[in-house]
Chain A
Amino acid sequence: MSTPAFLLRRLGSLVLVLFVTSFVVFGMLYLAPGSPLSFVLGPRGGTPEQIAKVTEQYHLDDPFFVRYFAWIGDLLQGNLGDSVVYRQPVADLIQGRIGTTVALIALATIIIAIVGVGLGLFASLKGGWADHAVTTVATLGLATPAFVIGVALISVFAVGLGWFPTNGSGSGGLDTLYHLILPAIALAVASTAYQARITRASVLEEEGREHVQTAVARGLRPRIIIRRHVLRNALIPITTVLGLTIATLIAGAVVVESVFALDGLGSLLVRAILQRDFAVVQAVILVLVVAFVVINAIVDFLYTLIDPRIKLGSKQ
C-alpha cells in the first residue's frame, strides 16, 4: 500500500473510532448518576430558582440525542465547548495541560526504550547470573503498582535526600525535565520491566532459530550474528510492545499525575469525570484516542523500516 493510501485509510478509521468512542463515552456519562449541578451551585446547594436557571443554561435536562448532536455540531465547527464547572473553554483547559502529559510520557518512553531494551539484551546475551538478576528485578517491577513506586520515590529522593521536588511540573524547559524525572520513573517502572522481559524472550527465541544456528555453525563472528540475525528479527516484537506500552502509559499517567500533583490531562480527566463535566471528559478522551491511533500508525511505519519485506498497512 502506498503511503498516502495508508494515511487515508488510517484517517478514515480514526474518524470512525472517534465517532464511536465519543458516542459511547457520552452515553455512559449520561447514564451514570450525578450531574455537574452540585459544582455549579456550590456546596450549600441552591434555591429552586437557581437550580432551574442553571439546568436551562447548560441544557442539562435536554434529551440525550439533542445534547449529543449539539456537541457534535460544535465540534465540527472546531469548538470543543465550555466546561460547565470551570466556566472556561475546554480548548483552554486542554491546551494548558497537554504539554505536561506529553513530556511525562515522552520521558517515560525514553526510559522504557533505553533501560527496558538494554536490560533485556543484557539478560539474554549475557545469560547466567545476569539473566537471573534481570528476571527477578523485572518481576518485582511488574508487580509493583505505579503509585507505590511514586510514593517510595518521593519518600526517598524528594523528602529523604532532597534531590528532587515532591510535586509539580516546574516552570518550563530544564526545570520541567527536572520535575518530571521522578514521575517518569514511577510511570516507566512496570513497562520497563515488561519491555525487558519481552526483549529477553524475543532475543532468546531468535537465537534458537535455524538460520542463526546455521550462522553459528558456519563460524560467523558472534557480533555479526547478533546484529544481523538476532536483533533485526527481534526488533519487530520489541517495537510492537513499545508502541502498545506508550498507549498504556496514557492511562498510567492518570495515577502518576495525581501522586505527583502534575497539571496533566490525566488529572484533568479524572476530575472532569468526578464532576460530570461532559465537554471536558469528551475532549480529553478524544485527544487520547487520537494519540493512540497515531502511535499505532507510527509503529506500522517502523515495521517497514525494520523489515522492508513488510508492506505498509499489511495485516502481518
Chain B
Amino acid sequence: MSKRSLTLVGAAAVVALTLTACAGNGGGGGGEKTNGEATAFSVDRDSLASTTEPGTKPVADVTWNLPYEPLSLDPMLTFNYAENTVDANLCEGLTRITPDLGTENALAESVENPNDTTVVFNLRTDAKFWDGSPVTADDVVFSLARQVGPESATYWSDYFKNVASVEKTGDAQVTVKMTQPDALFEQGMSSAAGSIVSKAFAEKAGEQFGTPKGGLMCSGPFKLDSWEPGKAINIVKNDAYWDKNLIPKVDKLSFSFIADESTAINALRSGDVDGQFFYLPPAGLSQLKDSDATITFGKSYIFWSLRAIQPTGTFSNPKVREALLEAIDQQAIADVVFQGTSIPSPVLTGPAYFGTGEAAEKFQKAYDSYTVKPDIAKAKELLAEAGDISKPIVLGVQGSSAVHEQTANLIQAAGQAIGLKIETKVIPVEQFGNLYFDPKAREGLDGFFTTYYGNVTDPLDVYTTFTPDSTNNFIKYDGAAKELEDARKTLDPSKRADYTIAAQEKITQDLPWMPMGDLPVILVQNKKISGAVPSSAYLGYPWAATIGGVE
C-alpha cells in the first residue's frame, strides 16, 4: 500500500519535469508531442494489434497475473477485468467476440430472427461441459433466464431488460422473445452475459456457484482445476473441446493475484510471471522495455473520461463543459499522464466500436468531423456565453492514483487558462466505488474520472448509458433519449448508426461525460510464449487458447 505512494511521488516528479519542459519550450499549443524523451511509448491508432505471433510449441505451464483476485467466476457476476480475463477461457456463450472485435457463432450453430422481437438460437450438438455432459437447450434456458427480471443478481441486467421469455423450442433450440426490438440483446450475448453454465451443477452449488468452494461448470477450452483463495486460480487444457482450432497448447495456466504494480513488473521481468494484461498504464511499464518481455498495444474499447455528476453547479452547465473540453490538451494527457499509451479522441466511442460495412463508414465520417485540438480563444468565447461561473468546480480524484491526480492537474491548468476555478478533492480508493451508486458519496463533487468500456462493437452499447433510467446516468441526462431509444429498437445496423450518430452529436455537444482519450489494451508476454489475444476481446474470447511456446 505504502509502496504505491512511492511510485506516486516518482510519477509526480516526472510530471513536474515534463510540465516544466513544456513551459520552457514555450509549448502548450496544439497537439504536437510535448517532448520526445518524456514519453516512454508512442502508440498510433492504426498500428493497434488484434493478434500476436502464434506460438507453435506445446507448453506445460504458464503463469499469468491478474491485477486483483476475482470475487466470483460465475459469469453472471463477472463484469470487470480480472474476472473476465479468467472466465473468457472457461465459459462460452452462444456466440463470441473475435480477436478483431467481430462476432462468430460458438455454442449456437445458427441464430435466426423470424421477426423483430424473436431470436432463435439453434445449438450445436457436439458441445460438452467439462464433466462430459452435453450442453443442452435446458442449460441454455437456465443460464439466460436466471438473468431476466429486475431482481436478478446479474451484473448484466441491461442486456436482459427487454427479454420477455426464454424457452426451449426444440431439442437443440432456444427461443428468446423480446417485449420490443432490442439491438443490444443479441450483440450482448457474445459477452460473458451470454455464457452458458451447467444447470445441474449451478443448482447444486447454489449461492456458492463460482466461488472457490462451489466451483464452476462450463464448456470452454480450459477447465477450472482449482481456486486456492488468495493464492491462485489454476485452469487446465480441455482436450475434448469441440472447436479443434482452439484446443490449447498450454497444459496448465495459473493465475496469480499480484496487486502491487511494481511487484507485478518485477515478476514479469524475472520471468516468475509469463504475462499480464494491464488495464491502466503502470508507472513501471517502461522498465519492461529492456527485459525478456514483449509489450503489445491492442485494439480496445476502453476510454478515459470525466463524468459530470451533479444537476446543479457550474459544471452542470453544458456550455462550461464544452468550453473546458475545448481548452484541454488531450495530447498532453496522452503524453504526460499515460506516457504515450493513450490516444486523443473527440468522442467517447472511438474507431474500435465502428465495426465494418456501411454503418462503420457512417461512424468514421462522423468521427472525422470532430477535432481534438485545443482552442483557447474559442474556449473563452464559449465560456463567455455560459453565464455564472463563479462557483468552483470540484473534481473527485481517486487517492493513490497517479493517473487521476495528473489528469486533474492538467485540467486545472486548462481551466485556469480560460478563467474557470477547478478544485480537486481526493477520495480514498476504498471509497471511490461508492461514487457509482451512493448519491451521498457524490455530494460536494461536480465530477470524477473513470475508465469505462463497452462489450460489443457498437457505439450504442456505450451511449445507452445516457438513457435517463440508466444506473450510470447520475444526472439523468436526457438530451439524446429519443435518439437512443430509436437506435436500440432499430435492428438494421446502418439505420441504427444514423440514430446513434444523432445521439452522439448531442452527447458530444452536452458532454455528460467528457472524453479524455482512448486507452489501448496493454499485453505483456514473456519471450518464451506468444499468441495471446491483445485486443479487448480478451474479456470474452478464449485468449489463452492460442498461446504457444516460441522456438
**Cβ of A147 and Cβ of B471 under 8 Å apart?**
no
Distance in angstroms from B142 CB to nearest chain A CB is 19
Which residues of chain B are within 8 angstroms of A166 by Cβ–Cβ distance?
Answer: 263, 266-267, 270, 272-273
Which residues of chain B are within 8 angstroms of A44 by Cβ–Cβ distance?
Answer: 79, 155, 158, 436, 471-472
Chain A residue, CB-CB nearest to B287:
A159
**Cβ of A263 and Cβ of B229 under 8 Å apart?**
yes
> 9 interchain pairs (CB within 8 A)?
A34-B441, A42-B155, A88-B229, A96-B228, A150-B3, A155-B266, A159-B266, A258-B3, A259-B263
Is B2 engaged at the interface, CB distance under 8 Å to the other chain?
yes
Is A191 engaged at the interface, CB distance under 8 Å to the other chain?
no
Which residues of chain A are within 8 angstroms of B290 by Cβ–Cβ distance?
Answer: none
**Residue of A38, A92, A150, A254 most packed against chain B (CB within 10 A):** A38
From residue 225 to 255 of chain B, which have CB atoms closer than 8 A to chain A? 228-231
**Cβ of B472 and Cβ of A45 under 8 Å apart?**
yes
A37–B345 CA distance with the chains assembled, in angstroms: 33
Which residues of chain A are within 8 angstroms of B1 by Cβ–Cβ distance?
Answer: 254-255, 258, 270
A53–B153 CA distance with the chains assembled, in angstroms: 9
From residue 146 to 189 of chain A, which have CB atoms closer than 8 A to chain B? 147-148, 150-151, 154-155, 158-159, 162, 165-169
Is A126 engaged at the interface, CB distance under 8 Å to the other chain?
no
Distance in angstroms from A86 CB to nearest chain B CB is 6
Task: List the count of A-B residue pairs having beta carbons below 8 Å apart.
Answer: 155
- Counting from the closest, the 9 A-B pairs by CB-CB distance are A263-B230, A38-B433, A42-B155, A274-B430, A49-B150, A261-B258, A45-B437, A263-B231, A45-B471
**Cβ of A49 and Cβ of B151 under 8 Å apart?**
yes
Which residues of chain A are within 8 angstroms of B433 by Cβ–Cβ distance?
Answer: 34, 38-39, 43
Report B410-450 CB contacts with A as 1/0, cut-off 8 Å: 00000000000000000001110110111001000000000
**Cβ of B437 and Cβ of A93 under 8 Å apart?**
no
**Cβ of B213 and Cβ of A88 under 8 Å apart?**
yes
A162–B212 CA distance with the chains assembled, in angstroms: 32
Is A241 engaged at the interface, CB distance under 8 Å to the other chain?
no
Chain B residue, CB-CB nearest to A41:
B437
**Cβ of B80 and Cβ of A151 under 8 Å apart?**
no
Is B48 engaged at the interface, CB distance under 8 Å to the other chain?
no
Which residues of chain A are within 8 angstroms of B429 by Cβ–Cβ distance?
Answer: 274
**Cβ of B471 and Cβ of A167 under 8 Å apart?**
no
A150–B258 CA distance with the chains assembled, in angstroms: 15
Is A227 engaged at the interface, CB distance under 8 Å to the other chain?
no
A155–B263 CA distance with the chains assembled, in angstroms: 9
**Cβ of A147 and Cβ of B436 under 8 Å apart?**
no
Is A303 engaged at the interface, CB distance under 8 Å to the other chain?
no
Binding site for A on B (CB under 8 A): 1-3, 6, 71-72, 77, 79-80, 150-153, 155, 157-158, 207-208, 211-213, 228-231, 256-260, 262-264, 266-267, 269-270, 272-273, 429-431, 433-434, 436-438, 441, 471-472
Which residues of chain B are within 8 angstroms of A35 by Cβ–Cβ distance?
Answer: 434, 438
Which residues of chain A are within 8 angstroms of B207 by Cβ–Cβ distance?
Answer: 87
Which residues of chain B are within 8 angstroms of A85 by Cβ–Cβ distance?
Answer: 71
A298–B263 CA distance with the chains assembled, in angstroms: 36
Is A273 engaged at the interface, CB distance under 8 Å to the other chain?
yes
**Cβ of B229 and Cβ of A39 under 8 Å apart?**
no
**Cβ of B229 and Cβ of A165 under 8 Å apart?**
no
Distance in angstroms from B543 CB to nearest chain A CB is 20
A254–B230 CA distance with the chains assembled, in angstroms: 14
A165–B270 CA distance with the chains assembled, in angstroms: 8
Which residues of chain A are within 8 angstroms of B2 by Cβ–Cβ distance?
Answer: 145, 147, 255
A24–B201 CA distance with the chains assembled, in angstroms: 42
Which residues of chain A are within 8 angstroms of B230 by Cβ–Cβ distance?
Answer: 93, 96-97, 263-264, 267-268
Chain A residue, CB-CB nearest to B269:
A159
Distance in angstroms from A160 CB to nearest chain B CB is 9
Is A33 engaged at the interface, CB distance under 8 Å to the other chain?
yes
Distance in angstroms from A145 CB to nearest chain B CB is 7
Which residues of chain A are within 8 angstroms of B434 by Cβ–Cβ distance?
Answer: 33-35, 37-38
Q: Given that A38-B436, A259-B263, A268-B230 are known contacts, is A162 also in contact with B71, CB under 8 Å in the complex?
A: no
Which residues of chain A are within 8 angstroms of B80 by Cβ–Cβ distance?
Answer: 42-43
Is A50 engaged at the interface, CB distance under 8 Å to the other chain?
yes
Which residues of chain B are within 8 angstroms of A145 by Cβ–Cβ distance?
Answer: 2
Distance in angstroms from A46 CB to nearest chain B CB is 6
The one of B150, B229, B263, B269 that contacts A92, using a Cβ cutoff of 8 Å: B229
Which residues of chain B are within 8 angstroms of A88 by Cβ–Cβ distance?
Answer: 208, 211-213, 229
Distance in angstroms from A53 CB to nearest chain B CB is 5
Which residues of chain B are within 8 angstroms of A46 by Cβ–Cβ distance?
Answer: 157, 437, 471
**Cβ of A162 and Cβ of B257 under 8 Å apart?**
no
Which residues of chain B are within 8 angstroms of A294 by Cβ–Cβ distance?
Answer: none
**Cβ of B260 and Cβ of A259 under 8 Å apart?**
yes
A44–B441 CA distance with the chains assembled, in angstroms: 16
A270–B258 CA distance with the chains assembled, in angstroms: 14
**Cβ of A86 and Cβ of B211 under 8 Å apart?**
yes
